[in-house]
Chain A
Amino acid sequence: MKALCWYGKKDVRVENVADPKILNPHDAIIKVTSTAICGSDLHLYGGYIPAMIEGDILGHEFMGEVVELGREVDNLKIGDRVVVPFTIACGSCFFCNSDLWSLCDNTNPNAALAKKMYGQTPSGLFGYSHIMGGYAGGQAEYVRVPFANVGPMKVPESLTDEQVLFLTDIFPTGYQAVDVCGIKQGDTVAVWGCGPVGLFAIKSAFLLGAERVIAIDHIPERLQMAAKDCGAETINFDGDRELLGLLEDKTGGRGPDVCIDAVGLEAHGMAPGALYDWAKTGMRMATDRPNVLRQAIMACRKGGTVSIPGVYGGLLDKLPMGAAHAKSLTFKMGQTHVHRYLKPLMDMVEQGKIDPTFLITHRFPLAQAPYAYELFSNKKDNCIKVVLTP
């Protein structure tokens, strides 16, 4: 089959590889009908995530048709059309039973490695480094889905691929980022990063009862989408101090009640903090560039919540913990418990409460995936979200 393989920094290629096989009794093989490039795939593309191995198949947002089943999968049939959560969960451990699916104890084959690095292992992920299990991803014609008895969810015939594809990651990720903050009446939510997760966070904030949403980015077409499609007020940032001042002004000096970092470890920008991070990561003295997180902590109102759907991978420098402590902030973070949100969000799509297709800007065949990565990575041609078809 054809698959998009990682070979190094800014080096991904569509290769001919062996078709996936059933390896465990709870496996299924899915024939991929639609797959997307995620903003977090760009962290891999940029070489920021350790423990990648040349030849790894990328892709954790995918859906398709069941073509083969392991003997212990009894909830699916050949031919079922399913969406597959990007987090792999066993469904039987303490964490799965506690509705914390992305913390599943039992799906990472390299659990001992992750434990050494992070103290404990999170769940296995598709196509996201060998610390997270090293599972082959879904930017391919076929993909092996472990614990298929737990993750994949059947899609109603009335819904198109594009309407449900983002249930695999970015929609639940944006939704969870707001949901875990417990939005109250009158709350103002600030969202850093108007990429797909940020845009879904904005939509979700309104769905969950936020009064106002302030969207922060520096890419005009993304801010435009945040305003036009999602109803947010927008700030085109260009300096730390100015941004914080603007947020104060917009909230009557209180600060946003909820601050969402939908950017993560690769913050861009020309603010002094951002340049400092560029220098440090450039010299391999730091792994992440947490300037957005610094801003979110400084901006957040007293007793507010900082929510971090953006991915961080290593050690962060110069986080204002003094401010966080002085203001009694609450932090919410982590990979998405996709299994928790799959059904309720699919119902919302079916009921027409949200149309997730609004952010698709580009569609390519899988063969053109390397070009699509380059386009998305450089945000050329107003690229916000790419859908690939094998």
Chain B
Amino acid sequence: MNVRPVPELLAKPPQRQPMDRNVGSVERLLSIAAGSVLVAFASRRLRSPLGMTLLATGGEMLFRGATGFCPVYKLLQVDTHEMDEVGVGIRVAVTIDRSTEELYTIWRDFARLPEIMSHLEAVTVTDETRSHWVARAPAGMKVEWDAEIVKDEPNSLIAWHSTENAQIKNTGSVQFIAAPGGRGTEVHVFLRYSPPAGSVGVAVARLFGEEPSQQVLADLLRFKQKMETGEIPTTQNQSAGHSVKRQVKSHVLASATSDQSEPKPSIPSNGHLQTLTAEGVVL
């Protein structure tokens, strides 16, 4: 069986006209602000070559801010506006040595996903198809949204999208496909979301060491480790020499790899996926 992309997740944006917007919304605001400052500064130095250059630059920034069209971006084939519309897309796959049934069952129990997905704080299931999600965002912020299951094929596929009131519009799917030769199950995750501040938001997130595709990969690998060995390998709280640099670097590393310093709170359940504490458990 092939990976079947869920059509609504992979729809391409419509083709645009030549003089169309290619600057994202936040970047437009920044362009207007910076352009205004430059023009004001240059207007007092109009006789010098520097003044003229700054005026031209400021003017261009005002233009691209006001119209959302940047000729330089067009030449360079850069489009930061696209991200406002279609958001960021992520595809990650891992193969896990467990049956499709077992993995589907554990994944379908959304409330327990935060035990393994370190970037999810909590998921509350409200009814058969709806659930409320709280995720960690860069710089210690949180984002919340309601999600609705749009497709649910037991042992095979779960697809969802955020409902209308979502802070971050997102869609996603996870597909479970038997790997050839009895090598377990391929787990394919597709996610698409509109970051709160468009392309600038993604860039800021990267500054904080939070690369979304890397985080999803790290979480999926943790899921695999837990499913195959019963524990998630960790080095948090191990012995080490003292160093100030160490504290900074360890933090950056932890956010890039999802190795957590704080144990997850236990979630009581009757399911066979037991709670995950700092000591971990065997499934």
A313 to B221, CA, bound (A): 23
Q: For the complex, is B36 an interface residue (Cβ under 8 Å from A)? A: no
Do A20 and B281 touch (CB < 8 A)?
no
Which residues of A have CB within 8 Å of B224?
Answer: 105-106
- Closest approach, in angstroms, between the C-beta of B225 and any C-beta of chain A? 4
How many angstroms from the CA of A35 to the CA of B259 in the assembled complex?
Answer: 28
Stretch at the interface among B193-201, B226-234, B265-273: B226-234
Whether B239 sits at the interface, judged by CB under 8 Å, is: yes
Contact status A110-B239, CB under 8 Å: no
Q: B209 to nearest A CB, angstroms?
A: 11
**A194 located at the interface, meaning its Cβ lies under 8 Å from any Cβ of chain B in the complex:** no
Please, how many angstroms separate the alpha-carbon atoms of A154 and B258 in the complex? 34
Q: How many residues on chain B are close to A (CB under 8 Å)?
A: 40
Contact between A124 and B233 (Cβ–Cβ < 8 Å)?
yes
Residues of chain B within 8 A (CB-CB) of A23 are 234-238, 278-279
Q: Mark contacts of B119-153 with chain A using CB atoms, 8 A cut-off: 1 yes-contact digit, 0 otherwise.
A: 00000000000000000000000000000000000
Interface of B is mostly: loop
Interface size on A, residues (CB 8 A): 51
B250 at the interface (CB under 8 A from A): yes
> CB of B44 within 8 A of chain A?
no
> Is the pair B233, A25 in contact by a Cβ cutoff of 8 Å?
no
How far is B15's CA from A239's CA once the two chains are assembled, in angstroms? 62
B235–A19 touching, CB < 8 Å: no
B235 & A135 in contact (Cβ 8 Å cutoff): yes
A56–B97 Cα distance when bound, in Å, is: 33
- CB pair B183–A112 under 8 Å, yes or no, is no
Instruction: Decide yes or no: A25 and B253 within 8 Å by CB, A19-B239, A56-B241 being known contacts.
Output: no
Residue of A nearest to B249 (CB): A53
* Docked-complex contact B249 and A24, CB < 8 angstroms: no
Q: With A24-B234, A53-B250, A105-B228 as given contacts, are A113 and B256 in contact (CB-CB < 8 Å)?
A: yes
> Is B23 interfacial (CB-CB < 8 Å)?
no
Instruction: Summarize A's interface: helix, strand, loop or mixed.
Output: loop
Q: How long is the Cα–Cα vector from A17 to B224 in the complex, in angstroms?
A: 32
Which of A17, A105, A140 has the most B CB atoms < 10 Å from its CB? A105
Out of B242, B249, B250, B258, which one reaches A112, CB within 8 Å? B258
Question: Is A26 an interface residue, CB under 8 A from the partner?
Answer: yes
Pick from A88-96, A199-207, A273-281, A328-336 the stretch touching chain B: A88-96
- Contact, CB under 8 Å: B233 / A107: yes
- Which of chain A's residues has its CB closest to B253's CB? A130
B231 to A: closest C-beta gap in Å: 5
Contact of B221 among A3, A18, A111, A140 (CB under 8 A): A111
A121 to B243, CA, bound (A): 28
Is the CB–CB distance between B259 and A109 below 8 Å? Answer: yes
CA distance A169 to B238 in the complex (A): 23
The answer, yes or no, to whether A57 is at the interface (CB within 8 Å) is: yes
CA–CA, A86 to B168, complex, Å? 45
B: residues with CB less than 8 A from A are: 95, 97, 183-184, 214, 217-218, 221, 224-225, 228-243, 245-246, 249-250, 253, 256-259, 278-282
